[in-house]
Structure 1
């Protein structure tokens, strides 16, 4: 009974912030000028790499959903370095995961996480740019830029019947119409992609809060060995930034250091076996090595810097975890948000909601 109570409390605290993040992600989907981004990332040097990291950070794409978008950028004229920076930054964070991080991890981690994502993406992108200079020149590979906001990993393009078709059909509509399409996209396709892992993460966090003593992993929860273990778990794993947040909260509750948890938050969403295979095939083995080295070195380096910052500054992670966003919002907002998300997470129920019947 205590387990269910702890899990329900975590879910209700997270629900309004997750809903806010999803709607913000839908707004980005509706308003970002997709056709211009590929042109912004052309050219050489560090500037396109930095732009790719900054552009990718808020976008709501997971580690597999980002692949067609990144390849579209590449074939639209972006260099290997900006492509890698986009591949790293986009799945590591997003407006939805930042909102959820604030609710479950506290303001310190909610600030550190997106900053670390951008820095790690820039580092990996610069390494890829250096690796590209060692490779023979290739023939131009131009092609149609794949839309940045693919609906999900199962979308096969126009005519598939998913909300991607409906969202792309909003071109030329009013701003309100585009925002409505973006909201439907967020509460269907994005939520479908994260709901299973999000549920598992919340259950894990509830189990930790119920049965694992506080600071149980404090002795093993910091340092290079612990961070190396997080890399071994995170690199081959497929998990998106939002769904990894409850797991990160569980690790923090168990006593792992914020820096060690940050390694998991960076390496887990940014890599998986499918991404590694595509990077090696499309961008070349030297760039694949640069991609992996960049993520590993940046994750561990930023994790150690985070632990040093927590030790040097009066940052009480335990207090922030205990407080979270609890008490900030009235109960009816938490229950209403939780109920709406639960309905939207079940497609047969979602189709009965106004405006969703012909979109999902």
Structure 2
């Protein structure tokens, strides 16, 4: 009986490895043909070649399958990585950590753990009830949505490794410093009363060690869940990027979002806060803005504000934070984003 179970396990694991190898070959073969296909498709349409409309349509037909294919690849890979973590295990890893080291650990863990706005409240309550300091909790809350693996993977593939590493380093720096500052302010009394009364519960860790079959299935589940939820945001973002790419003059955009306009960075942050999007949806817009000559610092500030300071997330966090604490959170993170924007505009202008 045991031998039959072992044979079945080996068969299923071998099927996954074989299927993934075939899928990887097909993925790279298709990816290499996306741009020629987009050009051919535009040539078949009744559109004047070389015009604004042709440029926009080609951008849309090329970027849509490209970003979706990259998203599937990145989400699957990180779904496998995430199978080594769980909310309970993350909570245990951060519980009892002192500020400083705890802020660094929380920001780093936030990059690879599952997090979205809808899970902000249960995660926040779980961390606080487990004894995780408030500042450490905020480092996690800032890093998890802002410096997520989807954004890093797409930035690396679409814009380049320099921008991706810049985003990673300064995003983590904002999360660490902002969390530390909030912790130094000792604002626990600004939590909602019911949150302060919550006491730590038992932490349930997985009873069994996951095998590679389980981890691959977790990766595929992540693809179905995440891509199924964000694909329409991606298409909307690419459509906006296509309009920018085809119709917005480079001179106009560089004048509005260029390094010479001192007000461009705070304007980008203020514009980004009320927007509701995610990393996958906003990055095609970022790609188009950079291609049109917008300043790197201004574009990064815009992206970070959309992802880390979105109005919907603030509304959700209102369930556990007082308005004063939310205001402090926005002010501290906003100052960090402004500093990144001005610094990069000064360095790369």
Q: TM-score, normalised by structure 1?
A: 0.72
CA displacement at 1:261 relative to structure 2: 0.7
Segments of structure 2 that go 5 or more residues without pairing to the other structure are: 1-41, 43-53
Task: Give deviations 1:7-46, integer Å, cap 9, x for gaps.
Answer: 1222344344322211122113312254232132234422
Asked whether the equivalents of residues 118 and 316 of structure 2 are also in contact (C-alpha less than 8 Å), the reply is no
1:39 aligns with 2:92: yes
1:220 partner SS: helix
Distance 1:238 1:76, change over 3 A: farther
CA displacement at 1:111 relative to structure 2: 1.1
| Corresponding residue for residue 253 of structure 2 | 217
Counterparts of residues 1-360 of structure 1 (less than 5 Å): 1=42, 2=54, 3-43=56-96, 44-132=98-186, 135=189, 141-144=198-201, 172=208, 174-222=210-258, 223-311=261-349
Q: Distance in 1 between matches of 2:217 and 2:81?
A: 11
Asked whether the equivalents of residues 73 and 145 of structure 1 are also in contact (C-alpha less than 8 Å), the reply is no
Q: Distance in 2 between matches of 1:20 and 1:83?
A: 30
Segments of structure 1 that go 5 or more residues without pairing to the other structure are: 148-167, 312-360
1:210 partner SS: helix
Distance 1:144 1:265, change over 3 A: farther
Q: 11-20 or 239-248: which moved more?
A: 11-20
Q: TM-score, normalised by structure 2?
A: 0.74
Asked whether the equivalents of residues 208 and 253 of structure 1 are also in contact (C-alpha less than 8 Å), the reply is no
Asked whether the equivalents of residues 127 and 290 of structure 1 are also in contact (C-alpha less than 8 Å), the reply is no
Q: Distance in 2 between matches of 1:207 and 1:274?
A: 26
CA displacement at 1:289 relative to structure 2: 2.6
Q: Distance in 2 between matches of 1:174 and 1:218?
A: 51
Q: Distance in 1 between matches of 2:130 and 2:281?
A: 31
Larger RCO (CA within 8 A; separation ≥ 6): 1
Q: Higher Cα Rg: structure 1 or 2?
A: 2
CA displacement at 1:171 relative to structure 2: 6.4
1:132 partner SS: coil
* Displacement over 6 Å in runs of 4+: none
Q: Distance in 2 between matches of 1:145 and 1:257?
A: 49
CA displacement at 1:219 relative to structure 2: 1.4
CA displacement at 1:134 relative to structure 2: 7.5
| Corresponding residue for residue 28 of structure 2 | none
Superposed CA RMSD? 2.7
Whichever structure has more helix as a proportion of its residues is 2
CA displacement at 1:280 relative to structure 2: 4.2
Distance 1:221 1:181, change over 3 A: same
Task: Give deviations 1:305-327, integer Å, cap 9, x for gaps.
Answer: 2223324xxxxxxxxxxxxxxxx
2:81 partner SS: helix
CA displacement at 1:277 relative to structure 2: 3.4
> How many aligned residue pairs are there?
290
